[in-house]
Amino acid sequence: MMNVKDRIDELAAQLKQYNYEYYTQDNPSVTDQEYDALMNELIQLETLYPDLKRADSPTMRIGDTVLDAFDKVTHDIPMMSLSNAFNKEDLRDFDKRIKKAVGEQQYTAEVKIDGLAGALHYNNGTFELAATRGNGTVGEDVTHNVKTIRSIPLTIDYQEPLEVRGEIFMSKRSFEQANKRRTEAGNAPFMNPRNAASGSIRQLDSKIAAKRQLDMFIYSVMEPERHGLTSHYEALQFAKELGFHINPLTERFNTIEEVITFVEDMTEKRDTLSYDIDGIVIKVDDISRYDEIGVTAKSPKWAIAFKFPAEEVLTQ
């Protein structure tokens, strides 16, 4: 008969794979019932044999930490914001500035997720720390809550120190479910998925964050050259291969006119997505030109956010 440790390892490996299929690839190979049965077996074994619980156990997704307060985290590289474009002319002006600085460039265009920024740190293949943006220089340690986000790998097959950043968000479906539960319990509903996501990530009790079913798309690999990366698009592919959730609506274009067509397509598609977006982020693809292009006090000059017109709120 298999010993307990081997069974725990086997369950952890199976759950990790099923979790990845379901939450990152959106392509499950087992039913929810099969998944829950394996998870329950693992919880039972870990309760009986706490010494055998793995540091990367899938049971951590359920939330098992209650903090007294958040620790502060100083970002090695400040978390900047983006300057905005509101129309095609602003995008063409951006293109002109880029051409003037470094000549013709390819661009990566991706959806701008309406959530909150997060930074994830890995060391020796293990997820160690997650921080919020805070004021851009100092954020808060929200590792306990971020561990409950199922599309974030707790271990990766890459031993070098790695920092990735992205947007933590709540899907429209999870938002509706959370608000249904809140109203039934007599609590005021969340205003929108962004408020719900940021309120959930600021919980001291990770069981609460776990119930809120947050998700995260990774949009940056920090210090890409340390990982042999010179293209932003390829940096996203690199992150994807490591098991991170990358937004599939990401494309690389040769001209700003192609980018503008993408922006128009997405403006139409916007309401059909299962999560809120508030614009499109356009980045110069060639990372090796970033230093030359430079930054302003608040934002890099190699990227711009096209903002959709604010949705009008209709009142009766």
Task: Kindly list the catalytic residues.
Answer: 112
Cβ closer to ligand IVH: 80 or 102?
Answer: 80
Task: Give the x/- contact pattern for ligand IVH in 114-133, rule: CB under 6 A.
Answer: ---x----------------
Q: How far is residue 122's CA from residue 154's CA, in Å, rounded to a whole number?
A: 9
- CA separation, residue 146 to residues 5, 18, 142, 265 (Å): 27, 19, 6, 32
- Residue 82 sits in the site that holds ligand IVH (CB under 6 A): yes
Q: How far is the CB of 20 from ligand IVH (least distance, A)?
A: 22
Cβ closer to ligand IVH: 118 or 153?
Answer: 118
- Residue 113 sits in the site that holds ligand IVH (CB under 6 A): yes
Residues in the chain: 316
Contact 142/202 with Cβ under 8 angstroms?
yes
For CA atoms 138, 125, 291, 278, give the dihedral sign.
negative
Using CB under 6 A, count the residues that bind ligand IVH.
Answer: 13
- Residue 112 sits in the site that holds ligand IVH (CB under 6 A): yes
Contact 171/213 with Cβ under 8 angstroms?
yes
HSE-CB at 266 with a 13 A cutoff on CA atoms is: 26
What tokens does 142 get? 């929200």
Q: How far is the CB of 235 from ligand IVH (least distance, A)?
A: 12
Cβ closer to ligand IVH: 46 or 110?
Answer: 110
105, 285, 305, 306: which one contacts ligand IVH (CB under 6 A)? 305
Which residues contact residue 238 at a Cβ distance below 8 angstroms, ignoring those fewer than 6 apart?
A: 221, 227, 229
Cβ closer to ligand IVH: 39 or 216?
Answer: 216
18, 219, 275, 290: which one contacts ligand IVH (CB under 6 A)? 219
- Residue 275 sits in the site that holds ligand IVH (CB under 6 A): no
Q: How far is the CB of 85 from ligand IVH (least distance, A)?
A: 12
Pairing of strands 277-284, 72-74: unpaired
HSE-CB at 290 with a 13 A cutoff on CA atoms is: 19
- Residue 80 sits in the site that holds ligand IVH (CB under 6 A): yes
Q: How far is the CB of 295 from ligand IVH (least distance, A)?
A: 8
Cβ closer to ligand IVH: 46 or 276?
Answer: 276
Q: How far is the CB of 252 from ligand IVH (least distance, A)?
A: 14
Q: How far is residue 72's CA from residue 122's CA, in Å, rounded to a whole number?
A: 18
- DSSP-derived secondary structure letter, 242: T
Main-chain phi, psi angles of 122, to 5 degrees: -120, 145
Could you list the residues that contact ligand IVH (CB under 6 A)? 80-82, 110, 112-113, 117, 167, 219-220, 281, 300, 305
